[in-house]
Structure 1
Amino acid sequence: MGFADDHLIPLVDEGLGNSAYLLDLGDGRALAMDASRDLRALRAAAERRGLRIAFAADTHLHADFLSGAVQLGHDTGATILASAAGRRAFGHQGLADGDEVDLGGLALRALATPGHTDEHLSFLLLDGGRELGVFTGGSLIVNSAARTDLLGADRTEELARAQYRSLKRLTELPDETAVWPTHGAGSFCSAPPGTKRTSTIGAQKQANPLLAAPDEDSFVDRLIASLGTYPAYFDRLGEINRRGPAVLTAQPALPDLSAQQVRALMADGGHVVDVRPAADYAAGHIPGSLSIPLRGQFATWLGWLLPDTAPLAFVTGADQDLGEIVWQAYKIGYERLASRLAGGMDAWIADGNPKATTAFLTADRAAGRPYVDVRQEAEFAAGHVPGAVHLELGSLTAAAGDAPTGPVVACGHGERAMTAASLLERAGRTDIAVLDGGPADYAATHGQQLAQGTEGTRP
């Protein structure tokens, strides 16, 4: 068929930091690569081009989202392509190293590239004998390689050594071969910050610091040293993807509940998640609710901070998209979505229920309070307020007692800090304020220079 650049459509999930790909095969059919269960963008792209998804491929058993391959197989009859070594418990075409799939003019060759997971495959796209590009999933990613600790600390080094060999294999491809990774900037699968999500083999040989490591031991040391924390739900999704996510036969809905019904849900062990902007939550919220503003990172923090086994109710603003709440939750396996509070906070207050407030302070009003920074370690090390106490948001539930008295809690802008404040309030703290801004705002207001590194900052 011949291949043109516009035959490949990247579909970026900015919140999770991942890319899926829709490949137009030129005959009305398409291949979906590493599609998530939230298929809205992929389906819209396919519809615009009049394409039917004929193949759905997964490079590995994903830990950060539920695969959409099973759903595509059900909805469009797509042939699911995945590693035979993954022992998936649903119908698929199992592939081993070197196996090729005829796509009708183009071909897809499986390359075993273990490291991020045991059964990881990269998929080399061929036009006759010419290597067009390689879907590298979580092996070679732009200026890095994906994390190797998801199968347990006892296997991290072993998988890092496998990752070294996989990257060396990929760099044997021609320099002009395009590199199409799944994980990118913003992914907790160990992608570095940056805006580029695709590259070429040649460019990565020049720019990827891991590929500059002089030997395998150095590579392993560099990769393992880069590993930060990751969301708790990552430990669950690989097995769900192996079994196959449940097929959805209808659009998931979020029904309305009254204030009285929301109170009953909380009394029965359910959780209330307030998805309004941080400032709205600060002005008035249900006591005991958790603030997770609805934005790209909503799924990450929902999956990090709450169990998937309890019913969830949501407090929303007037113009917020209920479908966005549902799909962000469903793509990480959170399906016990009981309701949203009908009428929002106005209805809650009108029913005679109490509301709580949280101080949301500009930098000039936060002077004199201990400064608690809840960002990730790499962000903190890159620049923080001198003397700040560092408590990552993901570990704050267990570390609530380590927060000093009367703190101002801060992140980069205020959203994660409001989430942190809501966690501390759930733990019984009533002395919390949140910084409306970030460390640069605070330092500039108080005539400080940001500090770097992590020494002397933990409680």
Structure 2
Amino acid sequence: MGTVDVVPLVDEGLGNSAYLLDLGDGRALVVDVSLDLRGARQAARRRGLAVAFAADTHLHADFVSGARQLAVTEGTRILASAAGNREFPHTGLHDGDEIDLGGLRLRALATPGHTHEHLSFLLLDGDTPVGVFTGGSLLVGAAARTDLSGPERTEHLARRQYASLRRLAVLPDEVAVWPTHGAGSFCSAPPGTRRTSTIGRERETNPLLRAADEDAFVAALLGSLGSFPPYFLRLAEVNRRGPVVLDADPALAPLDVAAVRSLLAGGAELVDVRPVPEFAAAHVPGALSIPLRPQFASWLGWLAPQDRPLVVVRSADQDPGEVAWQAAKIGYRNLAGELAGGLDAWTAAGQPTASTRLVRAGEIGAARVLDIRQAPEFAAGHLPGAAHVELGDVPGRAEELPREPTVVMCGHGERAMGAASLLERAGHRDLAVLRGGPEDWVAVTGRELATGP
């Protein structure tokens, strides 16, 4: 058949890649697509393809699978592990099973580790292996985390991950590696720009494939595990039971000020998605700041409740559909709507606002510095004397943190404003948010950053 046409569909925010494979006969296979099918459908339409197959390598914890949506709306055939016990129609595959794609074949390879039922999919042209969709098994320079099924299974799955990576590593050097998780994923992909690779390159450069033995591999993998959003613990079961099929694109219903006030009085939470400078200038007291950007879904799933209505405040130039899609793809179906007219409508109705001070690196002075980046970021370089609490831990620790003049910082300001909004809600005052990050402080002061925890 010649060179295969595989189109990566990258979700920069979640750090993942789905793939669309042109089968050469007007049909396509998609692998690990999320419920936000806009990119996959656009890529298929551009090539005049119908999506005939949707393969899921595992029960995803970081996004709602789009496979069932495709099956119901487009008649797509779902391919997935039989060991996943999915409760909706699909073709359950076991190790070694093959699917005829019409000239190409897809062979299921059991590669447990990231999850117990994980499959990789080896693409064959005749008898020649062309590439392998490795999901959360072999990643570029890493392997995906094994702790999402509970601490009691983490080491066991890490040892199974060791065997799975060795199984993949015996494939020919030229076989392409198409992983799902990449840089930016909380499923333990390292930083970097490469999202695909080859077996030969990974055998030469992946430190986990170069581990001396199984124990060394397990120690290295478990030592690399960082924190992850709490919604990861819910979505695998959502994907096993079968995600709700959407009958229309998700949207934000308009809510007037009276309706918003009533919802807030009943326990709803207000999520302000405007850029940091706008939130800093004025916002509804108690609002949670999560600026709309590629990483919005991850932080929504980390900081906002799933069991209470959410009301959105946005700028007029921000796309409400983007907010709704990002929420939907991580299983947040509790968006009550948006404040019609935005903050202008709120203030026009005589409602109160609050503000948060922004400072530059040269204006920190003697204030306490609270760095809310992830632990590896903090360890790589932080302001000397800075306190450290990861943003995801701020809600649970807001009451215990010192109530003194504090500058909250991250890498650019978006996460820091989220932390400041949580602290303000908990009664902290005299807070400021740093414009920029550690490098800006170095440029202004000429001093060196501290390293280590």
TM-score between the two structures when normalised by the length of structure 2: 0.99
| 2:326 match | 328
CA distance in 1, matches of 2:100, 2:164: 24
CA 37–3 in structure 1, closer or farther in 2 if over 3 Å, else same: farther
| 1:437 match | 436
Shift of 1:253: 1.9
| 1:281 match | 279
SS of 1:368's partner is coil
CA distance in 2, matches of 1:181, 1:9: 13
CA distance in 2, matches of 1:297, 1:423: 18
Instruction: Please list the CA deviations of residues 198-238 of structure 1 after superposition, one character each: whole Å capped at 9, or x if unmatched.
Output: 00000000110111110000000000000000001000000
AA of the residue aligned to 2:345: A
CA distance in 2, matches of 1:286, 1:265: 14
Instruction: Please list the CA deviations of residues 112-132 of structure 1 after superposition, one character each: whole Å capped at 9, or x if unmatched.
Output: 000000000000000010000
| 2:247 match | 249
CA distance in 1, matches of 2:62, 2:249: 22
| 2:64 match | 66
Shift of 1:452: 1.0
Q: How many residues align?
A: 452
- For the 8 Å contact 1:372–1:403, the answer to whether it is kept is no
Shift of 1:425: 0.8
Shift of 1:76: 1.2
- For the 8 Å contact 1:176–1:202, the answer to whether it is kept is yes
Instruction: Please list the CA deviations of residues 362-405 of structure 1 after superposition, one character each: whole Å capped at 9, or x if unmatched.
Output: 11122111111000001111111111100000011111134331
Instruction: Please list the CA deviations of residues 260-318 of structure 1 after superposition, one character each: whole Å capped at 9, or x if unmatched.
Output: 21111111010100000011000000001000000000000100111211111111101
AA of the residue aligned to 2:413: G
CA distance in 2, matches of 1:413, 1:253: 29
The residue correspondences of 1:91-130 to structure 2 (distance < 5 A) are: 91-130=89-128
The residue correspondences of 1:303-452 to structure 2 (distance < 5 A) are: 303-404=301-402, 405-452=404-451
Instruction: Please list the CA deviations of residues 406-435 of structure 1 after superposition, one character each: whole Å capped at 9, or x if unmatched.
Output: 110000000000000001011111221100
Shift of 1:446: 2.8
AA of the residue aligned to 2:366: G
SS of 1:300's partner is helix
Instruction: Please list the CA deviations of residues 41-99 of structure 1 after superposition, one character each: whole Å capped at 9, or x if unmatched.
Output: 00000000110000000000000000000000011111100000000000000000000
TM-score between the two structures when normalised by the length of structure 1: 0.98
AA of the residue aligned to 1:221: A
| 1:206 match | 204
- For the 8 Å contact 1:443–1:450, the answer to whether it is kept is yes
CA distance in 2, matches of 1:386, 1:447: 13
CA distance in 2, matches of 1:148, 1:394: 20
The residue correspondences of 1:53-92 to structure 2 (distance < 5 A) are: 53-92=51-90
Shift of 1:3: 3.7
SS of 1:73's partner is helix
CA distance in 1, matches of 2:63, 2:175: 27
**Pick from 143, 161, 164: which aligns with 1:166?**
164
SS of 1:155's partner is helix
Bigger mean CA deviation after superposition, 302-311 or 350-359: 302-311
AA of the residue aligned to 1:217: D
| 1:224 match | 222
Query: Structure 1: where are the runs of 5+ without partners?
Result: 455-459
- For the 8 Å contact 1:122–1:135, the answer to whether it is kept is yes
CA distance in 2, matches of 1:253, 1:14: 22
Shift of 1:111: 0.2
Bigger mean CA deviation after superposition, 277-286 or 246-255: 246-255
CA distance in 2, matches of 1:115, 1:32: 22
- For the 8 Å contact 1:302–1:329, the answer to whether it is kept is yes
Structure 1 segments (4+ residues) deviating >4 Å: none
| 1:23 match | 21
**Pick from 264, 267, 277: which aligns with 1:266?**
264
**Pick from 22, 44, 50: which aligns with 1:52?**
50
AA of the residue aligned to 2:452: G
Shift of 1:250: 1.2
CA distance in 1, matches of 2:183, 2:220: 18
Bigger mean CA deviation after superposition, 364-373 or 410-419: 364-373
| 2:188 match | 190
Shift of 1:110: 0.2
SS of 2:354's partner is coil
CA distance in 2, matches of 1:87, 1:126: 26
- For the 8 Å contact 1:83–1:120, the answer to whether it is kept is yes
Shift of 1:243: 0.4
Shift of 1:447: 3.2
AA of the residue aligned to 1:26: G
Shift of 1:448: 1.7
SS of 1:398's partner is helix
Shift of 1:443: 3.0
**Residue 265 of structure 2 is aligned to residue 300 of structure 1:** no
Bigger mean CA deviation after superposition, 230-239 or 248-257: 248-257
Instruction: Please list the CA deviations of residues 124-157 of structure 1 after superposition, one character each: whole Å capped at 9, or x if unmatched.
Output: 0000100000000000000000000000111111
SS of 2:106's partner is strand
SS of 1:250's partner is coil
CA 168–345 in structure 1, closer or farther in 2 if over 3 Å, else same: same
